[in-house]
Structure 1
Amino acid sequence: MDLTLIQEAFDRVSKKQKIGYTKTQDVIDRTLHELQVAVQQMSDISDSSSTNEQRPLLIGLQGKLTEFGPSNQVGALQKDVNLAVSKYGKLLDRAFCTDIAKAYREAEFNGHLINEIVAVHFYRQGLFDLGDCFVHETQEPNAMALKTPFFEMYQNLEQLRARNLEPVLNWARQNRPALQKKGSSLEFQLHQLQFVHVLHNVGRSEALQYARASFGPFASCHITDIQRLMGCLLWAGRLEASPYSDLLAPSHWDAVALEFTRECCNLLGQAYESPLQVTVSAGSQALPTLIKLVTVMANKKQEWHTMKQLPVETQLDNAFQFHSIFACPVSREQSTAENPPMLMACGHVLCKQSIQKLVKGNSRTFKCPYCPLETTSSQCRQIYF
């Protein structure tokens, strides 16, 4: 949804309303001035004067108001504002009031699986009471399997945000083999934070003692970082004014909290981002394209529910691109499982259907569209991204 267009339309309506208000106020002020002048002139005439002497004043006032036309001016201004508001309302209706049910496609869903996904989403967001209530209402006891691990994760995060690293360090020690297998540096980052915290808040000797007890297993991989930490010992008590002051930045704690969350979800076999949230967000971006497709096909009296592949490309942000995408340089079509990318002997890559079309007229060899080399279909190999 492009909110920029809506914002620009709102700004135009707001500007037109302000201009209309200013001009309307000017019309009212001028009309009031003419009335006050006429009243003053009539009051200057004595009460004993005849009505004939007041009539010219009234006729003159009427003539000025007729020539000035305050009601016509105010009406025209109001009409412009109403027209702008009407157009803005239609734009909002198109953007927010679309019948999204048109984009619904009949599909078989596993209700139990969906309930489990929703329950796990609540637990991974830290909404444990809501998750328990949902599990109780849907009667899906299997969905509570991940409650305990996520509950422990959030308890450790609370301690981490309170600058207490011991619970997270204990978790990292217990899972050291799995973290090392993944090449994770989380445990060292935790020890680094704890070292700086001890040096800055306790003292040099305590920090040195902590370094001797903790940094040994990481010397082979993080020797440069350890040497930099040892340099901090020379600035004990004034670390904030040292060349190592960046180690005191709160961003290090935020980065470690994020890394801990990622590693914890990974060891649980869960993605860091909630699958339900990713699905809903991606669907929201694709929804306008789907609704437009349904509308166009309905006008052509065609059905899209039976299609195995959408006839249009759905643009999503880079955050929703989880794998490489290949588009054939000849057909300009995106590769699929039925039409995979194929590597030719010359090193160029085409989709399978494009190669089949090139081979159709040549029983043995065919020329690459991008270089002089010739090859055969049997020499082409499928590429896996």
Structure 2
Amino acid sequence: MDLTLIQDAFDRVSKKQKVCYTKTQDVIDRTLHELEVAAKQLSETSTDQKLVLTGLQGKLAELAPSNQVGALQKDVNLTVSKYGKMLDKAFCTDIAKAYREAEFDGHLINEIVAVHFYRQGLFDLGDCFIQETQEPNAMTLKTPFFEMYQNLEQLRARNLVPALTWAKENRPALQKKGSSLEFQLHQLQFVHVLHNIGRTAALQYARASFGPFASCHISDIQRLMGCLLWAGRLEVSPYSDLLAPSHWDTVALEFTRECCNLLGQAYESPLQVTVSAGSQALPTLIKLATVMANKKQEWQVMKQLPVETPLENAFQFHSIFACPVSREQSTAENPPMLMNCGHVLCKQSIQKLVKGNSRTFKCPYCPLETTSAQCRQIYF
């Protein structure tokens, strides 16, 4: 799909519309001018009204505003029509061509949809969906997300106590994965207390809260202690950046990530990721289905697509290996294999190289020789 051609066509339509508007407005202004002149002449008592109306009729016939405007509109409509046909040709709306028969677990799909609603905070909608699909077991998915959103609402209201309580309860798990969420929450609370209550309360909070984090965040704690000298005028101090609202947004995002992680859920909704990735792959799939249909071949029976499906980096969750010999992407049946020389080929490529060689075969990229038994499967 050449988007440049579509953009050029759109620019032509836009330019044509602007020209049409300018010329149409000019015709209307000239017509109004003639009418105003005639009306002024008719208001004079000594004027021959019949002569004025005859002159006005002649000028309007010469100007022909309806014909001019009609011709301009016809030209624009023709250009818009061509642009619409180009869009219909470039963007195929029949997505059914990309449909592929597949077996799905209906209960699993219902749970995925319900979890999507709950993780978006749409609890009423999720409950309604579960009731209509008659999936009572999915109600257990609501509780952890409901607690998470309650804490998030309090956090956005500048109340950190519920989030701090949750972080303290889950401190071993957070420390195990190297998360600094609890310290970030304490840091926000310290700045909030210092700015809104005073130096004494902030110092007491620091003594009670920062002890467990001194070994890992000593430099941050030292900087926070420096803020005590600027109590009451923190917004004009060298530490004014600590008052930025973005810190609250960052902590809210980190809190959501850690909650989802401890629940065994991805931060982004799997359903949303799947639909977004599918919408990007849709043009390629439609084109492939069309080409295969023209060649009277059935693409739905293929185990692997014969073309690459371009997706954004956000949808690349693991490394992909393509064999430098066969140019094919590795699969579970055709995994990447490491040779003694350090080069990596897919298993089927090695089997083809071994064929006809009783013991050893030469690496296609260096002079070293090896055997198939010495090749080891590697994992990305």
Partner of 2:300, secondary structure, is coil
Alignment of 1:126-205 (within 5 A): 126-205=121-200
Q: Equivalent residue for 1:123?
A: 118
Q: Equivalent residue for 2:238?
A: 243
Q: Equivalent residue for 1:11?
A: 11
Partner of 2:103, secondary structure, is coil
Partner of 1:324, secondary structure, is coil
Q: Equivalent residue for 1:269?
A: 264
Alignment of 1:84-95 (within 5 A): 84-94=79-89
Alignment of 1:296-307 (within 5 A): 296-307=291-302
Distance in 1 between the 2:153 and 2:284 partners?
A: 42
Q: Equivalent residue for 2:273?
A: 278
Alignment of 1:1-385 (within 5 A): 8-23=8-23, 77-94=72-89, 98-385=93-380
Contact 1:124 1:150 in 2 (8 A): yes
Distance in 1 between the 2:169 and 2:144 partners?
A: 14
Distance in 2 between the 1:217 and 1:227 partners?
A: 14
TM-score by length of 1: 0.85
Which residue identity lines up with residue 147 of structure 1 in the other structure? K
Distance in 2 between the 1:182 and 1:28 partners?
A: 72
Distance in 2 between the 1:32 and 1:163 partners?
A: 62
Deviation at 1:336, TM superposition (A): 1.5
Q: Alpha-carbon deviations, 1:275-294, whole Å to 9, x = none? A: 11111111111111111111
Deviation at 1:378, TM superposition (A): 1.9
Deviation at 1:225, TM superposition (A): 1.3
Q: Alpha-carbon deviations, 1:228-250, whole Å to 9, x = none? A: 11121122222222222211111
TM-score by length of 2: 0.86
Partner of 1:305, secondary structure, is helix
* Greater shift in the superposed pair: 244-253 or 363-372: 363-372
Aligned-pair identity in percent equals: 90
Which residue identity lines up with residue 148 of structure 1 in the other structure? T
Q: Alpha-carbon deviations, 1:53-101, whole Å to 9, x = none? A: x9xx9xx99xx97xx9999976765454233211221244346661111
Aligned-pair RMSD on alpha carbons? 3.5
Which residue identity lines up with residue 120 of structure 1 in the other structure? V
Distance in 2 between the 1:192 and 1:32 partners?
A: 70
Distance in 2 between the 1:290 and 1:360 partners?
A: 36
Corresponding pairs, count: 372
Contact 1:120 1:144 in 2 (8 A): no
Q: Equivalent residue for 2:44?
A: none
Deviation at 1:305, TM superposition (A): 1.4
Distance in 2 between the 1:302 and 1:273 partners?
A: 37
Partner of 1:301, secondary structure, is coil
Distance in 1 between the 2:259 and 2:245 partners?
A: 21
Distance in 2 between the 1:161 and 1:150 partners?
A: 16
Partner of 1:221, secondary structure, is coil
Deviation at 1:178, TM superposition (A): 1.2
Distance in 1 between the 2:212 and 2:36 partners?
A: 94
CA separation of 1:69/1:362 partners in 2, compared to 1, >3 Å: closer, same or farther? farther
User: Which 5+ residue runs of structure 2 have no aligned equivalent?
Assistant: 42-47
Deviation at 1:211, TM superposition (A): 0.8
Distance in 1 between the 2:120 and 2:85 partners?
A: 37
Which residue identity lines up with residue 205 of structure 1 in the other structure? T
* Greater shift in the superposed pair: 146-155 or 7-16: 7-16
Contact 1:165 1:190 in 2 (8 A): yes
Distance in 1 between the 2:190 and 2:69 partners?
A: 74
